Structure formats: C-alpha cells, structure tokens
Amino acid sequence: MAVRDHSSQANFHELRVTHSAFELDVNFETRVIEGYVELTALAECDTPRELLLDTRSLSVHSVELLPPTGQTGQGPQPLEFRLGEPHKVLGSALRISIPAGSAPPVGGCLVISVRFTTSPASSATQWLAPAQTAGGTHPYLFTQCQAIHARSLVPCQDSPGAKMSYTAAVRVPQPLTALMSAVPDEPQPERGAHRAPYLLALAVGELSSRELGPRSRVWSEPGMVEAGAAEFADTAKYLEAGEAIAGEYVWGRYDLLLLPPSFPSLTNVVAHEIAHSWTGNLVTNASWEHFWLNEGFTVFLERKILGRLSGPAAFQFAASQGALKLAAEVERLGPTHPHTCLVPDLSGGVDPDDVFSSIP
Ligand SMILES: [Zn+2]
C-alpha cells in the first residue's frame, strides 16, 4: 500500500513516473543546468487528469505530450501547466494537465517532456571555482539531493517511495568529465536500477580514475587519484563482506568519487556507504519520517561488515560507541523533545533536514 509522504507534493499514487530520460547542459559561466527530460508515467488509477511533479527554484519553459512510440504522423502536443505558489521547504508543485482523450486507463503509460532550467541558488548544486579545487585550473560541480533537493535539480516525484530508472546525456565543457549515480552507456536500465530520486547524483570536473577491483574504481582530480587508490584499496573486500551478509550486489558497479577539498578515510565511511547498497538504496524508507529504517539497518550492516573484516571485538566496540552517542544525543535534545522520536512528524511542511540527528 502506498504511504503518504508529507515531504512531496507529487501525485505518484495516481500517476507514477517510472523512467526519466534526461539531457543536461552544464553551464559553469551562469551556474545553471539547462535540462530536458522525457518522463514515462504509469497510471495507478483510471484516467488521471494531471501529473504533479516536485520542483524548487526551477524555471519551466515548456511541457509536451509525446506521441506513443511507433505512432507516426503525430507530433508532440503542448500541454497546459502551472507552477504552484512556492513553499519554502517543499518548493512549487508543477501541475500538468492531461487532456481527457489522452488520459491512460489504469496500468497504461504516457510520456511527457519538460524543458527546464535550474537556478544558481539551487540547493542541490555546489559550484566550485577553480581556486576551490585541488588542481586549481578548472571549475567543479557536484550535487547532493538527499533528502528533498532533487526537485531543485530536475522536475521529479521527489519521494523515496516513488522510485524510477533513469538515463542521461550530459554536455560539459572540454576537458571536463561528467559522472552520475548510474552505469555508463547502459541503454536500458535493469529493474534493479530503479532508485529513489534522492539518489540522483551528478559531478563534473577534471577527473581521472584508477581501478580498485573488477567492479570498483576510484575517481578524483588527477593529483589525488594515486593516493585515493591506495586509501581505498580494500573497497572490493568491503563489497564482498556486504554480499556475504546481505545477498547479491545488484547495482553492477561500485565506484567512488573523492570530492575536491575533502579526503575521507576508509573504514566506517566506506563500510557505511556500501551497506546502503542494500538498506536504503535497494530497500528504501517510503518517506523521511521512517528514515530510521534506512539508517538503523545500515549502521547495523556497517558494523557486521567491520566485524567480518576486523573481528567481533570491532563490532562490539562500534556498537557500544553508538549506544553512547545515542544517549548523548537524547541528553542534548532533552528526552521529551519531538526530534528524539523514532518516527518524527513531518506534516505541515517540516524540513526533513532540520529533524536529522544521530537518533535515526
Ligand atoms: Zn547513512
């Protein structure tokens, strides 16, 4: 049964986006991304008359209904659309009207295209000037969409309960490289590649890579890549330990990207992020109120992985440190504070980022 998500204005219970095909043009001068997306939407009820998408600080230029594949002699049909009043946390709902004759029956699909532009103030994008990079010569862009920032990158049904597959063609200036949270040149993503919109990720910079194993590679600016390969040499072992505990790794590749100024160390960061491949990315909380399902199980799996590689004492030590941290956090907030609830109330437009702590 579909769960209500207080952090999204999208109508995925009625008309669900199952696939997005993006074309993105990255402009470092204006710090915006010009985008075009073709959204495949599946009717969850009979003849839905509108598609509701989440957006925040996006400009929307045009919306069209595309003819069904194989139907020749019929061009795209412009659709009426309206951007709702912006809510400071949730953004503006993009309301797209579907003409009566085109509304699909339950189980039917339609394809709608949207032309849009991000804003330099998009909360998902971080634009670095050359001086902020290790190399100092080229600019750099990276995104962070969790919890509800994907809507400021692309129009989408920005709920963890509304998973989709995606493909993307990204245009960037020479000699920069674009990376995304996807396998390169995969023409049709497999079913396992459906992911929540918060897992959309894009990075553009002067990037090079080193192999870490048969399905892992580390990416970073050229000057950091050797040190990165040495630091993350054990990634394949973490992945194998994760598979031995939680089952097959379904995402094909596990590549790492080291962002310019920071240099995270191995152990629990990589164990934690690898663990999210199962708990979070594969099995996902339906809304941010149930974030403890993503993080609680991931921390448990992270410790199981560490325990396999370093022994039961390492597991016990990490667990007792975690218990102390939890107690300290409850003490800091006060034991009756609403943010100490396992399932916080996010109704009324509460920003999930404001509620996050080590409690979940
Ligand atoms: Zn986590």
Question: Is the CB of residue 345 less than 8 Å from the CB of residue 355?
Answer: no
How far does residue 136's CA lie from ligand 1's centre (Å)?
31
- At residue 166, φ and ψ (nearest 5 deg) are -150, 155
Q: How far is the CA of 114 from the centre of ligand 1 (A)?
A: 32
Question: What does the pLDDT read at residue 188?
Answer: 60
Known binder of ligand: residue 87? no
The CB-side HSE value for 225 (13 A sphere, CA atoms) comes to 16
Ligand 1 centre and the CA of 299: distance in Å? 7
pLDDT score of 350: 95
> What is the architecture of the domain spanning 8-185+192-206?
Sandwich (2.60)
- The pLDDT value recorded for residue 267 is 64
Residue 106 Cα to ligand 1 midpoint, Å, equals 36
Residues of the chain with pLDDT under 70: 1-2, 186-192, 262-264, 266-267
CA–centroid distance, residue 69 to ligand 1 (Å):
40
How many CA atoms does the CB half-sphere of 167 hold within 13 Å? Answer: 10
What pLDDT score was predicted for residue 70?
A: 73
Token pair 């708990």: residue: 279
Taking the centre of ligand 1 as the mean of its atom positions, its distance from the CA of residue 86, in whole angstroms, is 29
Distance in Å, CA 179 to ligand 1 centroid: 21
The alpha carbon of 242 and the centre of ligand 1 are apart by a number of angstroms equal to 15
Pairing state between β 32-43 and 15-27 = antiparallel
pLDDT value at position 69?
A: 76
CA 61 to ligand 1 centroid distance, Å: 36
Long-range CB pairs of 121-124 (<8 Å, 24+ gap) are 121/57, 122/56, 122/57, 122/58, 122/149, 122/152, 122/153, 123/56, 123/57, 123/149, 123/152, 124/149, 124/150, 124/152, 124/153
**Cβ contact 202:142 at 8 Å:** yes
Determine if residue 295 is labeled as part of a ligand binding site: yes
What's at 6, amino acid-wise?
H
Q: Is 194 annotated as a binding residue?
A: no
| Cβ–Cβ under 8 Å, residues 284 and 199 | no
Q: What integer pLDDT is reported at residue 189 of this predicted model? A: 55
Q: Report the separation in Å between the CA atom of 294 and the middle of ligand 1, taken as the mean of its atom positions.
A: 7
Q: What is the pLDDT of residue 279?
A: 97
- Which residues have a beta carbon within 5 Å of ligand 1, which is an ion? 295, 298
Tell me how far the alpha carbon of residue 138 lies from the centroid of ligand 1, in angstroms.
31
Task: Mention every residue, 6+ apart, whose C-beta is less than 8 A from residue 40.
Answer: 17, 18, 19, 20, 109, 110, 111
